[in-house]
A and B are shown apart, each in its own frame.
Chain A
Amino acid sequence: MQAGSLGEADATGVLAHGVGSSADLPLPLDLVLQAGAATVVLSFLVSALWWREPRLVAAEPRPPRASRWVRFAVLALALYLVGNAFLGPRGPENPAAHAVFVWLWVGLIPLSVVFGPVWRTINPLRTLYALLRGLLGTRLFGGRRLPAGGLRPLPPGSSAGTWPAAAYLLGFVWFELAAPHHGDPVAVGVFLLGYAGTQLAFATVRGEEWFARGDCFEVYSELAGRLSPLQPSPVQPSSVQPSSVQPSPARFGPARFGAVRWLRPLSGLAAPLPAGAGVAAFLAIWWGSTVFDSASASPFWAGFVQRAGLPVLWATAGLVGFCALVFAAVRWTAGRLDVTASLIPIAVGYTLAHYLSLLLVEGPRGVLLLLQQWGIGAGARWDVVPVPEVIAGAQIALILIGHVLGVVIAHDRALAADPGRPPLAVLADELPMVLFMIACTWAGLFLLFVR
């Protein structure tokens, strides 16, 4: 992580690519062809032969519990990173970009896949919101407490989808993949401040339930957390449904590290998703932006943009175009059955495959940058170079596992939707979905092959 820059070299420019660009070798052809064939074979084995009746038992994913000190620690770290983005070094030694693009955007997926929707538990915005409300309720501010449901809660019965989170996610991926100077710590700081400010404002209007459908990282973690095999057993309903949490600092109650039970596999994915097409839009932006990140790293895209000029405009158009295309495909294949839940494991598998080496190389490097700011571990380096064959194998495995889980979910839901239906009719019902999933998986394999 050293830049041999000369004189007044633009150090921020180095950082702009230091994080986020993957250096993986392209997948070998034989592996891609085998995986592509396996995709088709497995899809039809699952849906035609192996699985004749619905077997999945739905279980809502529940956020894990954590002590309030964990929440305060996460909040303190977040505040420090934002402050440090503005006041700290303005070069590649600032950990701000690593924190947002590696720890949060990539690291949240494995964390959620293991422990469930963790971001809902430790979301620093929720902690901050609760603290601010508590502060407003003290005598210092006249004791006028903000109502629990916000200033203007949604009318009861109105279905609030996750569209706001999808919009915020589009803003985030635009910042990550299309905005100029996105690696500059000050730009990261401005983005985070804008994000936090608008989120807190919306939460003030709509109440704390806003975060569950407006904060894109919470929805991200919630969807990835549906793959988690762990479920904390309910202690009291208030810890499960934040909308009914009593409005006082007392919600930071004693730590309950308690019973965690193992779920039957895939229970979380079988549980119904939030209503509306907001989740489909969210997944389309999630998967579409990752695909765009792969495609735009190719020399072809770079050559095209150089000829055409206006790189930010083309990147924006490409990004939005990819996401819109995926969303249109999801909606188009959705007939009686919906492919949205199946897209979750596919998106998780592909995102992990795409960013795996980034997580392994840049994640710990960001920790080192943070520690070295405080004088700890000066001179320590993280120069791990992943073995290409291992990375390639892991990428293929992740993509295939994601695909098979997606097909299993789609097939099981198709069987459950219509218990008495003959198997061939069910197969015909789910055929568009399975073909769509095969197309998604092939696109992912293809992009990792030509990259």
Chain B
Amino acid sequence: MKNRKLASLPAIPYVFWMALFVVVPLVLIVVYAFTSESGGFTLENFSSIGSYTMVFVRSLVLSLIATAVCLIIGYPVAYVISKEGPTFQRVAMMLIMLPMWINFLLRTYAWMSILENTGLINTFLSDIGIIGLINRLFGLSIDHLPLINTSGAVILGMVYNYLPFMIIPIHSVIVKIDKATIEAAEDLGADSVTVFRKVIFPLSLPGVLSGITMVFVPSVSTFILSKLLGGGTSMLLGDLIELQFMGGAYNPHLGSAISLVMMIIVMACMAVMNRFGDGEEQAVIM
């Protein structure tokens, strides 16, 4: 008995940490969400969320698209890398993580100067005559392609910033797949497409699911991307919450209520995804 108590001692710092920085803030959010400025209980914060439905929809749609794009780009990359030798894998993984060593804001500012109307891409396109060509072909008179301040730019920002979070978990799962299972499938006459479809992909699903979670959750709550790449005219959930705390409209009660609803939506999405994932795996096993 005494020994067991001693063994759990090392966990105390983290339990303390978690209580202080995870549980207490969550309780505060809940308290704020259900109270008014005068301190009394109210549900008004939640009823006023209705007028921001568009922001919720926009955030969910954009982050779902970004997650899908990350998966489409990230899975093949993770797969191809995992087929290479250990040195190549180490270098490739390092290169994929390299941008994350640079500050998030800095990377986003760089994208701004690439996408701007007078930015790198538009200047290049007009210099080599592509813009003029488009104008002649379609009878337009534009002097630049609308790249920045669009939903596309926001999605691009999400994909660029969160792609590594998709590749890394998928890669680490594929690498661990027992070669024997693949050989067994081949011995039984499966061609490479079938091997991938029936063996490798199903076995890599846990990685895919954690990749989806790790891209979707930060995307849906991101808050500076829409301001910098979207011009701040199409707000996302994170910006709406930021506005209630740090921006022009100070209302921490509404901000907390929105945060709470967002958390519930994210958790619901995750639950559905996990259920779906379990089903897939079982189906494959059967």
User: Do A and B come together as binding partners?
Assistant: no
List residues of B whose CB falls within 8 A of some A CB: none
List residues of A whose CB falls within 8 A of some B CB: none
